[in-house]
Chains A and B, each alone.
Chain A
């Protein structure tokens, strides 16, 4: 039983379980996602995904279909309307169908899993996404990743690493990925699969072929463990975060692959020094952060970086922006410093 003792403050990544799952399933090419519920659940999410896509220069529309359940479906049960919708979508010659549930569907007790297990000539993947059960956006992401992972079979490991659980709705998703691949290639390690961003269901068959899974952040620990159980793949729990953290990342990944990190670490430290030198003009400034919320995950990195540029943190200092989530790698820190500089010189 889930309980919400108090009205809760909703952060960007806190919200709807359905939205979290959709941020994953809509990244699988050649599939349709059915949202089993009232029309509004689909409409709202379509708008959000579309708007976020446009922000990231992606003009394709998410392929969503609502079962559009009505009051009579709620009274008599919505399984029939889901079955009808599945039959209709299966005729469309798609690679696969995702079925996501909504709050009302789990309230009235539709057995969505049982309907999805019937035969439709295309793979049908059910993801439970009723938010009122206490789940968050992140639960939706994790449930979707785990459900999709279960379609892949264990296989022999290759040479690469998987990137697990990219935040597809974050503005810098591709910059962050580029930063991680830059660090991996410094160690000579290729990416096996982005799980999950812009791939097809057939790409997912190679999910088990990675030597290491790199989780976007530690909110994905459940997925990391699930993949480890299913494929035996070890994982590291986060993208590189912070100057020292980026060096640690290189060493940990190198250790996982049994390769030497000495050269890559040396070069990265040089790069970090060069970047810090770029920002000499704001060295020694007194700063304060724009978010009063001291529990922000970005605070430790911000403090580390402030220390390295000899900026002092004081309550009456110049207000500088904290990123929504911690900056990724050395280049994430460079972008953060650019924003600080703009704030300081403003």
Chain B
């Protein structure tokens, strides 16, 4: 059965790096992977595409107008056969990026492109409007992973996303659930323990701790995922473990978001 997973988290926390390495690791398991970047910044799949910014769905819609678009113009094959799509969006400051995400999904559905073993949705920083909750709506991502570090603002964003998941998952026929927390570490003291405790408190679990490692930056400078750039590294092994856990995961929950003062005192207790 096809798995559809979404990664949400604060901007700059490493969602795209984590998504791309997760997709690369999943493809290494012989799976057919589609990664969809749901962020107007369009850089989700860049490392899978060896540093290239692929044309976005919204770029083509803007240029073509009514003229037809074909799947081969928006879906590109990257590292190890991972299929890559970038939703894109309007120029900053105009229009409605959320509606752009909805339109992209409708187009991909029309093409029957939402297929394969795993679809990875990499979604912009926060759930800023209904359009960016689209991947969590009926028929799309069922498993939502929160990417966070141990920093308070990152946990705060993750907690906010829990509120969105809670709201969406309470709807009739909704299949969207919180599937786990991924700690993309900033190398703070007690970071793993803090994020693990946060995960439990929001009724989930820490699925993987990803330590901070210079190899991630080196891989990016070489325009590759860590999986491709340094497959024998401990970091690559870490992403492969994440991939295996994601495939085995059956612990899907309706989250219990924290109040802000609970969150603060939690972070305080792990100083």
Contacts and interface: CB of A to CB of B under 8 A. Distances in A.
Contacts of B99: 71, 74-75, 108
Contacts of B94: 76-77, 79, 108-110
A72 B96 contact: no
Contacts of A72: 61-62, 65, 103
A225 B91 CA distance: 41
B68 to A, nearest CB: 14
A77 B103 contact: no
A75 B65 contact: no
B257 interface: no
B26 to A, nearest CB: 31
Interface in A211-262: none
B96 A108 contact: yes
B11 interface: no
A107 interface: yes
B168 to A, nearest CB: 22
B95 A71 contact: no
A186 to B, nearest CB: 58
B247 to A, nearest CB: 35
Interface residues of B, number: 14
Interface string A37-70: 0000000000000000000000000000000000
5 A-B pairs with least C-beta separation: A77-B94, A77-B95, A75-B100, A108-B96, A76-B90
Interface string B86-120: 00011100111101100100000000000000000
Contacts of A78: 95
Nearest to B65: A72
A24 B196 CA distance: 63
B91 A71 contact: no
A79 B93 CA distance: 12
Nearest to B104: A75
Contacts of B65: 72
A73 B100 CA distance: 10
B199 interface: no
A217 B236 CA distance: 75
Interface string B114-141: 0000000000000000000000000000
Contacts of B91: 76-77
26 contacts: A71-B99, A72-B62, A72-B65, A72-B103, A74-B96, A75-B58, A75-B89, A75-B90, A75-B95, A75-B96, A75-B99, A75-B100, A75-B103, A76-B58, A76-B90, A76-B91, A76-B95, A77-B91, A77-B94, A78-B95, A79-B94, A108-B94, A108-B95, A108-B96, A109-B94, A109-B95
Contact of B62 (A76, A108, A109): A76
Contacts of A107: 96
Contacts of B89: 75
A286 B97 CA distance: 64
A96 to B, nearest CB: 27
Interface in B150-177: none
B99 to A, nearest CB: 5
A79 B94 CA distance: 9
A71 B105 CA distance: 14
Interface string B50-87: 00000000100110010000000000000000000000
Contacts of A77: 90-91, 94-95
A77 B99 CA distance: 11
Nearest to B101: A75
A45 B95 CA distance: 25
Contacts of A109: 94-95
A300 to B, nearest CB: 47
A107 B94 CA distance: 11
A119 B97 CA distance: 30
A73 B94 CA distance: 10
Contacts of A79: 94
Pick the most buried of B58, B62, B97, B99: most chain A CB atoms within 10 A of its CB.
Answer: B99
Contacts of B95: 73-78, 108-109
A114 to B, nearest CB: 12
A72 B94 CA distance: 12
A110 B99 CA distance: 15
